Chain A
Amino acid sequence: MRRFLIALLLSSALGAAPLQADWKVPIVSRKLSNGLVVVVSEDHSAPTFGLCISYGIGFRLEPEGRTGFAHLFEHMMFEGTPDAPKGVFDQVIEGGGGFNNGDTRYDFTEYIESAPISALDPVLWLEADRLKTLDFSVANLDNQRKVVEEEVRVNVLNQPYGSFYWLDLPQKAFNTYPNAHNFYGDFKDLDAATIQDVQTFYEHYYAPNNAVLTIAGDVKPDEVFAAVEKYFGALPRRDVPPRPNVSEQPQTAERRFTQSDKLAHVPALAVGYRMPPRTSHDAVAGALVGELLHNGEASLLFQALVKDKKVALSVNGGVNWPLGNPFEYNGPTLMSSFIVYPSNVTENQLLDDYDSVIARLKAEGPTAGEMERIKTKMKSDWYGQLEIPISRASALSHAALFDGTADAINRIPADIDAVTPDEVKAFAAQYLVPANRTIINRVPETKADKGGQQ
């Protein structure tokens, strides 16, 4: 990360305009003796709190033969413990005026709650309780297996496009199991999961020394540290399996695929470029390029493809999209574009116009106006993620999980500001090349077979 600092000094030495980057969130951290990292961000604007506990396990590291297990396991975390049986968790949190949820991503699984401040102690107790042990119940596993299979049906199997732009694209773009399997899970793997798998996974990864607990909101750091010590302090440190090497051999040739879609009526294209590691100097330029191309109606791809050339209906995408922001990944990651296009446009027409946008970026780089706008937009979006306690806690937790400190949260606006047009140009030239990309064209199965919808 040191290079960012140098870049920042350089830009201020060159007399860059005053930055809007001076808004920061307070961050205080502590590590318990069992390894649990605790982060606190005070915000007294309302008598509420947001809590996020992130564990350093995501679907990248789930066992072979158990695709989708990290996410299935996440569901099991809500199924009760010996002391707080199934149902207590929701009863206490909702009865305390709050709500809860969980998410599984490539490199973390997070559990989040937000509630009026009066519910903080019982919520901390509940989080500590499910880090102590779970109710390893076969009946609950069977129940959640069904729920997850319905989740896959409602989000994938019963939807046009079936989320192919984030479920299928990485499987085609990468070569090794950690990065290239079905993260939602094949039903045969979900069906094969046993309660022993649940127990083993829990024992391996759900350890205080593999977690970051963040609380944002109407709290005082010392009071939070004391409360966390009280509820989590006695939990034992555990041996977490060493992180395997999940890196990929470089891609050497463009990969192109066509899929047919039983449900879609209109074709869509997904393009994925492999990105540099998050901690490399190039990563911030990559994040900026991803936003320059995809962020909003002013974006280069929207203006070119939807407005000027009229070859697309919608454009979405970015680095680590849609599974998170461009600053929170910890392994091989794509910059993805998801483009829905009219039936009378061909894949090659669309791709030619797409490539023209990239070619202009490589040849000329962005204009000064484009740079200024995208930096402003990115900082504004970034602050938006820190607006309310629950989303702030989430962002801080991920940062601390990856870097050991959440300080990057306050550096990101300056990092964005430090990117130069030449860096954008160089990034496009190095990474946005055919040999580094994977393309899936998704077409309606047949024009005639539209299920009687016409």
Chain B
Amino acid sequence: MKALRRLLVRFEFENGFRIIVTPAQAGVHLMDSRFRGNDGGGRAGRIPIRSTTLRRLALAILTAALLVPLQRAMAQEKVPPLPKELPPYGPLVPFATPNVTVTKLPNGLTVWRVPRPGFPKVALTLAVRGGRAYDPKDQPGVSDLLMAVMDQGTKTRSARQIAEAFAAAGGDLSGDLRPDALLSSVQVLGDKVDGALEVLADIAENATFPDDEVALAKTDALQNLEAQEAEPTFLAQRALAKALYGDHGYAVISATADAINKTTAGDLRAAYRQRFRPDQSLLVAVGDFDPNALEAAIEKDFGGWTAPSDAPLPEPPRPAGNNPHAIFLVPRAGSVQTSLWLGAFGPRRGDPDYAAAQVANAIYAGMFGSRLIRNIREDKGYTYSPGGSIQLRAQAGALLTRADVRNAVTGPSLNEIFYELNRMATTDPSAGEVTRAQRYLVGTNAIFLQIQSAVGSELGWLWVYGLPPGALGQESANIQKVTAEDVAAAGRKYFAAARQTVVAVGEDSVVRGQLGVFGLPIEAAAK
């Protein structure tokens, strides 16, 4: 099964950066002028909407803000006045939260169903607890091979028959592997969902990991790793995870060549038996289906799946301590840009200040009109692709910043990033910024959740993180309640430049020459 990451998906990347692409962009994301709107964590749902225009609302908040004595300086936000002729926003209409029916089969499989008549497709997602953080310490990357081969043969189907069965239903199975879990998803025509469900269950229960398929997957994985070693984004993400998480399982974002070489078909079968068990899995179905027929089909296909008697693998612990404040250099000869990635521990999804951190991130670098993008792209032209996001793990959260900048402005770019981070940490946001960020997060999430496969994926990750389906709506309600003070508090707690781990992928001499002045240790990044 192909990793979602390499398919350049239509919604959320593993690192939390989010894009919604148009048909013209499907397949490859290129030549769009604005790059990406992202927030890396906002979720939509039913929200208390005030029936007023934003302009009136903003004015009211602005007036109120003037009356409140501020403890800190308010950030000087240069926003042009709105045109006189611009019509106001219309009355706001509340968004409906996806209506999730929760059931559990006797074997412990949790099933979340979201019937949505109309659009004639169904998205199926199977979430199985246990990802890269569950791999043996000396075999980082068992999960990657597990994902690659799990759909390459069952007791009754060959790899080709599996691929053709999904195609015959109108879909392609894709995998989203992260440290905590593996999500397998397929979107098919509604009248062919039975066929897809049957094959998905077969993979969950009867994968055989044939020796020849494992051998091919290992050869391909080694070559793919070799190919990825040329990509700045891969190098940066791998180095950042290592720098942030050290010895913790969350430090692994890909297999190592050593682990690929020594992993056997037997290892994969053992890992599959440990992880693929109904009591550690969730099945999500979203779309145009007959609820009763689907329920019966799920019972027929998944009812015979049994969990082993031994206890499931333990969850990884919370990462301890702080992330290092240093620059980790990945030398890459021939680079014409420096890829800057910054990370700092932040809230977990479900933590009380998660919503405030989401709003803060949107103001900082999550929206197109955010401070960092206005600064280093729209004012200075240092980069095409700056952005900020919150990367989520079951036991951790990390605030991420990225920007690929031309070599000559490597130092100036990090200076501006530090400046904007420190501005978040030391000054209060304006009321207008907070309102815009709230509206942006809630609105774009509602749009995002119109994609049925996005609902499947979102629900899958909620479950992995131990949250109920109602969290989809609750998170938007939480965003609506965030105040400027909450945002300022999140800024103080998470955003200071002194909290950041920095990764720079680029020409050795460029990075050392321009980043030395920051006085941070420059260390060789681990692989």
Contact = CB atoms under 8 A, between A and B. Distances in A.
Given A118-B92, A391-B22, A83 B85 contact: yes
A278 to B, nearest CB: 15
A151 B486 CA distance: 35
A153 interface: yes
Contact of B381 (A146, A372, A449): A146
A313 interface: yes
B32 A103 contact: yes
A119 interface: yes
A266 B226 contact: yes
A45 to B, nearest CB: 6
Nearest to B51: A118
A183 B31 CA distance: 10
Nearest to B23: A385
A388 B80 contact: no
Contacts of B450: 45-46, 48, 387-389
A46 B95 contact: yes
B245 to A, nearest CB: 22
A453 B54 contact: no
A97 B93 contact: no
B164 A298 contact: yes
Nearest to B373: A90
Contacts of A96: 54, 89, 439, 443
B79, B159, B167 — most chain A CB neighbours (10 Å): B167
Contact of A87 (B32, B80, B88, B120): B80
A94 B22 contact: no
Interface string B72-112: 00000011101101111111111110000000000000000
A85 B337 contact: no
Contacts of B163: 296-298, 302-303
Interface in A206-221: 218
Interface in A11-70: 20, 23, 45-48, 52
Contacts of A91: 79-80, 82, 369, 436
Which of B87, B92, B191, B224 lies at the interface centre, i.e. has the most chain A CB atoms within 10 A of its CB?
A: B87
A324 interface: yes
A147 B379 CA distance: 10
Interface in A282-336: 295-298, 302-303, 306-307, 310, 313-314, 316, 321-325, 328
Nearest to A71: B31
Contact of B92 (A78, A101, A116): A116
A281 interface: no
A137 to B, nearest CB: 12
Contacts of B172: 295-298, 377
Q: Chain B interface: which size bin?
A: 35 or more
Given A48-B446, A101-B34, A150 B435 contact: no
B121 A383 contact: yes
Interface in A162-200: 163, 166, 183-184
A438 interface: no
A266 B446 contact: no
B264 interface: no
Interface in B298-341: 331-337, 339
Contact of B27 (A102, A143, A321): A321
Contacts of A328: 23-24
B48 to A, nearest CB: 14
A264 B189 CA distance: 38
B33 A48 contact: no
A20 B89 contact: no
Contacts of A313: 220, 223-224, 227
Contacts of A77: 33
Interface stretch (B137-145, B228-236, B414-422, B491-499): B228-236
Contacts of B22: 52, 101, 103, 110, 112, 390-391, 394
A150 B169 CA distance: 42
B452 interface: yes
A136 B103 CA distance: 59
A454 B222 CA distance: 13
A332 B24 CA distance: 17
Given A380-B121, A380-B189, A383-B121, A102 B33 contact: yes
Nearest to B92: A118
Given A75-B33, A86-B378, A121 B230 contact: no
A238 interface: no
Interface in B16-66: 20-28, 30-34, 37, 54, 58
B384 A151 contact: yes
Name the residue among A47, A121, A144, A163 with the largest chain B CB count within 10 angstroms: A47
B446 A46 contact: yes
A88 interface: yes
A114 B447 contact: yes
Q: Which of A83, A157, A328, A376 is packed against the most chain B CB atoms within 10 Å?
A: A376
A147 B368 contact: no
Given A46-B96, A390-B20, A451-B334, A266 B169 contact: no
Nearest to A344: B223
Interface string B434-458: 0110011011101100111000000
A452 interface: yes
A244 interface: no
B382 interface: yes
B86 A103 contact: no
Contacts of A395: 23
Interface in B151-183: 159-160, 163-164, 166-173
A256 interface: no
B269 interface: no
Contacts of B2: 297
A265 B442 CA distance: 42
B488 to A, nearest CB: 20
Q: Which of B170, B220, B374 has the most A CB atoms < 10 Å from its CB?
A: B170
B238 to A, nearest CB: 12
Closest 6 A/B residue pairs (Cβ): A97-B443, A380-B170, A146-B381, A451-B333, A90-B369, A47-B93
Given A83-B85, A298-B166, 12 more contacts: A74-B33, A95-B436, A104-B31, A105-B31, A110-B22, A117-B93, A121-B90, A125-B87, A150-B382, A154-B384, A314-B6, A323-B24
16 contacts: A85-B80, A95-B439, A97-B443, A99-B440, A102-B32, A118-B90, A144-B381, A147-B377, A151-B385, A158-B232, A266-B230, A310-B216, A322-B30, A383-B119, A383-B189, A388-B450
Interface of A: 20, 23, 45-48, 52, 71, 74-75, 77-78, 83-88, 90-92, 94-105, 110, 112, 114-122, 125-126, 129, 142-151, 153-155, 157-160, 163, 166, 183-184, 218, 262-266, 295-298, 302-303, 306-307, 310, 313-314, 316, 321-325, 328, 340, 342-343, 369, 372-374, 376-377, 379-381, 383-385, 387-391, 394-395, 398, 449-454
